[in-house]
């Protein structure tokens, strides 16, 4: 039986040195659909398979936290028909995958301005979060209606209000205080950020949390992203020296 590239890559990975937190910007669905002469939603729908591969690969390696950039604050500026289609896809995907989430001991979390979501979508997400709350395997974090600048602004407002009420002392404000007021307050900072689609930017995603993350950019479009590409990113990550400013 021949050994595949995917199998070889998986064997290269040292699970004891796997990143604790991986974040992914899933870019290129629309361009992928265009290649086939299809509407953008065809790409979004096909990208669900890549999400599944990424989750499975994370479990294979033993990664504890995976954060996916599902829908940004800027995405609300897209055509109304596309937004409705994306919200429907999100709703149906959660419905279809909830059993597998529990089967694989995955804990779901949602970060972002959830109040902007359609009520039925928001309710479904909240229910799914509640129904997976006792799972203690992979923490799957979906960034939906998310923008890092907005997250930081809200944190500053919340901290300022507590300073005003003498709940927090101005002198005691540090990284830990700020971390505690972000959407990701229960997560460690990102170790590895992966972006598909050929763009070399972070697009207002986890700006505070990726301050010392390793960045891995891929030319391929998101629906073409498979397990082996995720493994490639992990292999590359493990080759890098992470000094955090030290020698």
> For the segment 213-225, what is each residue's pLDDT rounded down to a tens digit?
999 999 999 999 9
176 is catalytic: no
75 is catalytic: yes
Where does the chain show beta strands of DSSP type E?
21-25, 65-72, 107-111, 139-146, 192-195, 214-217
Torsion angles phi and psi, residue 222, rounded to 5:
-55, -45
Class of residue 209 by CB neighbours under 10 A (exposed 0-12, middle 13-18, buried 19+): buried
Q: Which residue, among 84, 171, 90, has the nearest Cα to 125 in the 3D structure? A: 90
- Is residue 22 within 8 A of residue 67, CB to CB? The reply is yes
pLDDT for position 3: 76
CA dihedral 199, 201, 206, 208 (to 10 degrees): 160
- Residue 2, pLDDT score: 65
Q: What is the CA radius of gyration of the chain?
A: 19
Quote the mean pLDDT of the chain: 95
- Non-local (6+) Cβ contacts of 225 within 8 A are 26, 50, 53, 54, 196, 218
At 1-53, the pLDDT tens digits run: 567 999 899 999 999 999 999 999 999 999 999 999 999 989 999 999 999 99
Torsion of CA 106, 213, 228, 32, to 10 degrees: 90
Tell me: pLDDT of 77 over 70: yes
Quote the pLDDT of residue 241.
78
Question: What is residue 223's DSSP assignment?
Answer: G
Give this prediction's pTM. Answer: 0.95
Q: Exactly one of 20, 75, 135, 179 is catalytic; which is it?
A: 75
């Amino acid at each position: 039986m021949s050994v595949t590239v995917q199998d070889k890559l998986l064997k290269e990975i040292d699970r004891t040195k796997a990143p604790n937190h991986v974040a992914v910007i899933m870019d290129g669905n629309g361009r992928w659909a265009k290649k086939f002469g299809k509407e953008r939603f065809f790409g979004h729908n096909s990208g669900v398979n890549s999400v599944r591969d990424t989750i499975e690969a994370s479990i294979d390696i033993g990664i504890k936290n995976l954060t996916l950039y599902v829908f940004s604050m800027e995405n609300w500026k897209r055509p109304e028909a596309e937004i409705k289609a994306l919200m429907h896809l999100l709703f149906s995907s959660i419905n279809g995958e909830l059993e597998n989430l529990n089967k694989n001991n995955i804990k779901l979390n949602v970060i972002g301005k959830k109040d902007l979501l359609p009520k039925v979508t928001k309710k479904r997400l909240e229910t799914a979060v509640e129904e997976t709350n006792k799972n203690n395997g992979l923490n799957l974090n979906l960034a939906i209606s998310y923008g890092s600048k907005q997250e930081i602004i809200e944190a500053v407002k919340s901290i300022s209000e507590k300073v005003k009420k003498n709940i927090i002392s101005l002198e005691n404000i540090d990284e830990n205080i700020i971390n505690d007021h972000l959407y990701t307050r229960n997560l460690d900072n990102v170790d590895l950020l992966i972006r598909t689609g050929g763009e070399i930017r972070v697009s207002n995603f986890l700006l505070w949390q990726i301050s010392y993350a390793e960045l891995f950019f891929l030319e391929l479009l998101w629906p073409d992203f498979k397990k082996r590409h995720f493994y490639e990113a992990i292999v590359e990550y493990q080759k890098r020296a992470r000094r955090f400013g030290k020698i």
